[in-house]
Amino acid sequence: MTSNELSRKVGNAAKWSTITEVSTRIITPITNMILARLLAPEAFGVVITITMVISFAQIFADAGFQKYLVQHEFKDDDDRNKSTNVAFITNLTLALVLWGFIVIFRNPIASAVGNPDLGLALAIVCVQIPLTSFSSIQMALYWRALNFKTLFMVRIITSLIPLVVTVPLAIIGFGYWSLIIGTTCGILSSAILLTAKSKWKPMLYYNFELLKEMFSFSFWSLTEAVSIWFTLWVDALIIGNAFNGYYLGLYKNSLNMVNAVMAIVTASIIPVLFSTLSRLQNDEAKFQALYYRTQRFVSYLVLPIGFGIFLYSDLATYIMLGSQWTEASDIIGIWALVAPFGIIFSNFNGEVYRSKGKPKLSFIYQMIHLVFLIPACLITMSYGFWPLVYVRSLIRFQGTITGFVFMRVFMGFSVKEMLGNVAKPLGCTLLMGLVAVGLQQISLSVIWSFISIVICVAVYGTLLLLTDRDEIKETIKLFKKKC
């Protein structure tokens, strides 16, 4: 593939990935905004507990083959199709075995995650594991081909299904079952649509030698995924056992709302970044240039969003979750403040390691982070819920520092250049923050808060145009290119 062809495919992929992810990621918080006004935090706590188990099981069901199919350079189409078939059959088999295991040991598993009454619900909802395995391989093939246009309609339909199913069920009193049923319907529709539309179809072929070759790569992807799961869920596991479903729902749903807002930006970028970096893995200059440009582009967006939510956390909480979630304001504020730095300086690093075929580095990084994270959560747990929340949020900066070391030592990236790359967006964001603090001194009324937010957006946009106009134009061009 020539440089111009790749550039056109990247531009087109970025365009459709952005359209898809922005559309679907807007639907998710809207759905959550409605449900937060219909369901208590305890209901979300139940679903979060179940999701914790499902997400862990799905790691093993995937076995790391998704990333293998995206990153690996195959000899020809036949080689790719054979690998795809082996991956599909292996995934589905593991998914069915895991579902059976959870059904048999549903009560001990429910007790281990802090909610012993959820055994039956856990056994039923884990049907999502084999359903997900049907679509995961097709999804990887679309990512590999940078074909995000095809995924657009599928994602839109499947993201709307929980909205039209879950909300009516919540209104008529199904409680947490409305969340479970809606999510399951969405996954089922995704499996059906992706399987029906995919050019690749399962065939009667399996090769254990090929499985061995694939697993030699996927093993580290699998272990990396397990370590990431612990990083994402160990705090929820501790809170679920130390406190109760109310605090678990309050905490995790607050984080999920902030992450959903951030994902409107990042979710459209990450699949394209990984797929494109994988194609550029042997051209170091272009590889690093694309990383820096992506990092800079994302910083333009997530920094002001994070600081804005932090400064207006009470208003953000009321809009996103409603009046019964007022306690969530501090959680949303602190997480929104630290999240952009984790995204810019840590999250994208994993795409670099994986695209270079080095998921082992990501695994080691996650394990180092867990060495700090787990003791921090266990120690602060004894001081109460809120100390744990603040320490968990601030510990993300340790991950950022470790990320700098890994990128410099193992990948040859310059820490100075990474910091300098986001200096202007960060400077503009801080100036915008000072303006916001000044405006808040005038009045704290809701109407004035909305007016001051509009003023802050205008100030930030003006500052960017004054300081970084040319770079913004060049970055936007990348996302406007068409095939």
Query: Could you give the percent of the chain with pLDDT greater than 70?
Result: 88
Q: What are phi and psi for residue 402, nearest 5 degrees?
A: -60, -40
Does 398 have pLDDT greater than 50? yes
Q: How many helices (H) and strands (E) does the chain have?
A: 21, 0
- Cα→Cα distances 234→177, 241, 373, 376, Å: 24, 11, 9, 11
Question: Which has the higher per-residue pLDDT, 58 or 326?
Answer: 326
State the average pLDDT over residues 205-213: 84
Does 261 have pLDDT greater than 80? yes
User: Can you give the pLDDT at residue 329?
Assistant: 94
Return the SS3 of 234.
helix
In which band, very low, low, confident or very high, does the pLDDT at 483 lie, cut at 50, 70 and 90?
A: very low
Q: What are phi and psi for residue 222, nearest 5 degrees?
A: -65, -50
What does pLDDT average to over the chain?
A: 83
Query: Could you give the percent of the chain with pLDDT greater than 90?
Result: 30
Residue 312 tokens read as 């207006």
Q: Which residue matches tokens 């959820």? A: 118
Nearest to 433 by CA among 470, 467, 399, 460: 460
DSSP symbols for 196-218:
HH-S----S---HHHHHHHHHHH
Count CB-CB contacts under 10 A for residue 428. Answer: 24
Residue 345 tokens read as 């300086």
Does 3 have pLDDT greater than 70? no
Contact 9, 216 (CB under 8 A): no
b/e code 448-476 from CB counts within 10 Å (16+ = b): ebeebbeebeebbeebbeeebeebbeebe
User: Can you give the pLDDT at residue 5?
Assistant: 57
Contact 398, 372 (CB under 8 A): yes
User: Can you give the pLDDT at residue 199?
Assistant: 77
Q: Is the dihedral of CA 3, 79, 15, 466 positive or negative?
A: negative
Cα separation, 221 vs 72, in Å, equals 13
Q: Which residue matches tokens 């694939």? A: 214
Query: pLDDT tens digit string along 81-139?
Result: 888 888 888 888 888 998 999 999 999 988 888 788 888 888 888 888 888 887 778 77
Cα separation, 236 vs 116, in Å, equals 16
Contact 84, 141 (CB under 8 A): yes
User: Can you give the pLDDT at residue 63?
Assistant: 61
Query: pLDDT tens digit string along 151-191?
Result: 777 777 777 877 788 889 888 888 888 888 888 888 888 88
Cα separation, 80 vs 457, in Å, equals 47
CA–centroid distance for 231 within its chain: 13
- Cα→Cα distances 6→2, 63, 259, 483, Å: 6, 29, 30, 10
Helix residue ranges, H only, 37-127: 41-62, 65-71, 77-104, 106-112, 119-125
Contact 87, 158 (CB under 8 A): no
Does 441 have pLDDT greater than 70? yes
Nearest to 450 by CA among 328, 318, 323: 318
Does 10 have pLDDT greater than 90? no
Does 471 have pLDDT greater than 80? no
Does 281 have pLDDT greater than 90? no
Query: pLDDT tens digit string along 335-394?
Result: 999 999 999 988 888 888 878 878 788 889 999 999 999 999 999 999 999 999 999 999
Contact 226, 59 (CB under 8 A): yes
Contact 123, 53 (CB under 8 A): no
Nearest to 344 by CA among 309, 293, 281: 293
| Nearby residues of 281 by Cβ (< 8 Å), 6 or more positions away | 71, 287, 355, 356, 357
Question: Which has the higher per-residue pLDDT, 27 or 11?
Answer: 27
SS (H, E, C) 411-473: CCCCHHHHHHHCHHHHHHHHHHHHHHHHHHCCCCCHHHHHHHHHHHHHHHHHHHHHHHHHHHH
Which long-range CB contacts under 8 A does 164-171 form with residues at least 24 apart? Answer: 166/31, 166/35, 167/31, 167/34, 167/35, 167/38, 170/35, 170/38, 170/39, 171/38
Does 300 have pLDDT greater than 50? yes
State the average pLDDT over residues 218-242: 85
Does 317 have pLDDT greater than 90? yes
State the average pLDDT over residues 208-221: 78
Does 332 have pLDDT greater than 60? yes
